Amino acid sequence: MHRGNRHGRSEQARLAVLHAADDLLVENGFARLTVEGIAQRAGVAKQTIYRWWPSKTDILFEAFVTDAAEEITPPDTGDLTRDLITYLGALARFLTASDAGAVFRALTAESQHDPALAARLRQEHWTGQRVRDRQLLQRAVERGDLPAMADLDTIVDRLVGPLYYRALVTGQEITTEFVTELVRATIDAK
């Protein structure tokens, strides 16, 4: 329960802040998310927040990293097409319908205005996420389901790119048909 400093930081306060930030984001949206509001909701002093987090996006970041990243880990059943359809469906649901996805969207949006946040997202999220995304294809290559010379990075982008695009950029709906056709056209036709 204690660490680092002599007797250290309150884990209770830390978790209260993360949950309060999460809740308030989902309830009111990022525009109305204030450090004072988080402090009040968490029953914590504002100074305690500023002591440990440089800004409110850092709070969201920690909340995101803590409990959200594994929501979008691809499955591995050995059936590439089925795995992809499952995964992209879960990804669509994460991006458009989950609380963790709301945090992700807010962070991605803010990273357009904040290069430091953008860098942190790249280093602490995308590095790992791209590895996880590739693995699905890598295993298919190893099984012989995909040609060995395929540029896996580009294939990953061709699979997930259209989903992020619809969810974050144009706001179009992501239907089952769209996902199915996307996977079929990208993989099967190869």
Dig out the tokens for 131 from the structure. 């590895």
Whether 180 and 85 have beta carbons less than 8 Å apart is answered as yes
Q: How far is the CB of 34 from DNA (least distance, A)?
A: 3
Nearest to 38 by CA among 11, 57, 56: 56
Footprint of a copy of itself on this chain (CB under 8 A)? 29-31, 105-106, 108-114, 118, 121-122, 126, 130, 151, 154, 157-158, 160-166, 168-172, 178, 181-182, 185-186, 189-190
Question: Footprint of DNA on residues 21-40 (CB under 7 A)?
Answer: 32, 34-37
Among 15, 29, 43, 153, binds DNA (CB under 7 A): 43
Look at residue 48 and give the partner it binds from a copy of itself, DNA, none, a contact being a CB closer than 5 to 8 Å depending on partner kind. Answer: DNA
Dig out the tokens for 30 from the structure. 């990022």
Dig out the tokens for 11 from the structure. 């884990």
Burial class of residue 188 (count of CB atoms within 10 Å of its CB; 0-12, 13-18, 19+): exposed
| # of chain residues touching DNA (CB under 7 A) | 29
Nearer to a copy of itself by C-beta: 15 or 153? 153
Dig out the tokens for 26 from the structure. 């989902």
Look at residue 154 and give the partner it binds from DNA, a copy of itself, none, a contact being a CB closer than 5 to 8 Å depending on partner kind. Answer: a copy of itself
Ranges assigned E (strand) in the chain: none
Question: What values do phi and psi take at 146, rounded to 5?
Answer: -130, 145
Dig out the tokens for 189 from the structure. 């036709």
Whether 74 and 136 have beta carbons less than 8 Å apart is answered as yes
Q: How far is the CB of 108 from a copy of itself (least distance, A)?
A: 6
Q: How far is the CB of 97 from a copy of itself (least distance, A)?
A: 15
Q: How far is the CB of 181 from a copy of itself (least distance, A)?
A: 5
Residues of this chain that interact with DNA (CB under 7 A) are 1-10, 13-14, 16, 32, 34-37, 43-48, 50-52, 55-56
